[in-house]
Amino acid sequence: MQKIIILTGAGISAESGLRTFRDSDGLWEGYNIEDVATPQAWARNPELVQDFYNQRRKGVLEAQPNAAHYALAKLQEKYDVTIITQNIDDLHERAGATNVVHLHGVITRSQSSANPKLTYPINGWEIKMNEVCELGSPLRAHVVWFGEDVPMIEPAARLCATADIFILVGTSLAVYPAAGLIDYVPVEVPKYIIDPKIPEVRNYGSVYKIEEKATVGLVKLVQELMGDE
């Protein structure tokens, strides 16, 4: 069974109504990144940060997977599929994907503010400020903030090196270290890039560019890979 590795970014979830991480003005949902997505922000104003992610989580839970999420899940019928996602939503799993690596965490779980390896399911959409982990430290969103390590990046790089087919969808290749994962894909492996605005890429060998949104371009590619008429 051929192994397909897929790297997904904000573009695939945007079509489910979840806004991309940064708007053109550099803000995320009207907030400066430095005020809601750094360890310093949490130290300075944990209530603001907690509320910000509670609201984002509520939006994620209200959103539904789209045709692109379901298309990737369908690939599992014929291929050994691993999805590596930069997204913090759970839409891939809700569409039926069974092997998803979250580079930046997943907002539907909480984590200890003392030890990021301690994570917990969340009952509903809200983490309250009085909720603590087993160490007694406050719970926060299970999301990698700017300035924090990305613990899943090395396992993701190893996965990319094993690909027989590589698909990149909905990402501008602007956020590192995730943007460097394509470098680990063997040069002879076919690479499909799907996005309305294809990012500039170096000579990575067999690169096929599909300049369409995910729900169109990815659905077509999956039909082709599945041999559907």
Those residues whose C-beta lies under 8 Å from the C-beta of residue 67, and which sit 6 or more positions away, are 215, 218, 219
pLDDT on residue 229:
46
Report how far apart, in Å, the C-alpha atoms of 138 and of each of 63, 72, 106, 127 are.
27, 36, 18, 10
Paired tokens of 158: 């190893």
Q: What pTM, to 2 d.p., does this model score? A: 0.92
Q: Express each pLDDT in 151-210 by its tens digit.
A: 999 999 999 999 999 999 988 766 667 678 998 999 999 999 999 988 776 666 788 999
Chain-centre distance for alpha carbon 46: 24
Report how far apart, in Å, the C-alpha atoms of 83 and of each of 39, 139, 163 are.
27, 27, 11
pLDDT on residue 174:
64
Q: Give, in degrees to the nearest 5, the angle at Cα 116 between 113 and 121.
A: 85
The upper half-sphere exposure of residue 79, i.e. CA atoms within 13 Å in the direction of its Cβ, equals 25
Q: Express each pLDDT in 77-122 by its tens digit.
A: 999 999 999 999 999 999 999 999 999 999 999 999 999 999 999 9
Those residues whose C-beta lies under 8 Å from the C-beta of residue 104, and which sit 6 or more positions away, are 86, 87, 88, 143, 144, 150, 178
pLDDT on residue 32:
86
Paired tokens of 178: 């995730």
Q: Express each pLDDT in 32-88 by its tens digit.
A: 889 999 999 999 999 999 999 999 999 999 999 999 999 999 999 999 999 999 999
Distance CA 144, CA 116 (A): 9
Paired tokens of 150: 């990305």
pLDDT on residue 202:
65
Q: Express each pLDDT in 13-29 by its tens digit.
A: 999 998 766 555 555 66
Annotated catalytic residues are 104
The DSSP letter of residue 227 is T
The upper half-sphere exposure of residue 160, i.e. CA atoms within 13 Å in the direction of its Cβ, equals 24
**Can you list the domains of the chain with their CATH numbers?**
1-18+65-104+150-229 (3.40.50.1220), 20-62+107-143 (3.30.1600.10)
Distance CA 191, CA 204 (A): 8
Alpha helices in 19-161 (DSSP H): 33-36, 39-44, 46-62, 67-74, 91-94, 153-160
Paired tokens of 175: 């956020």
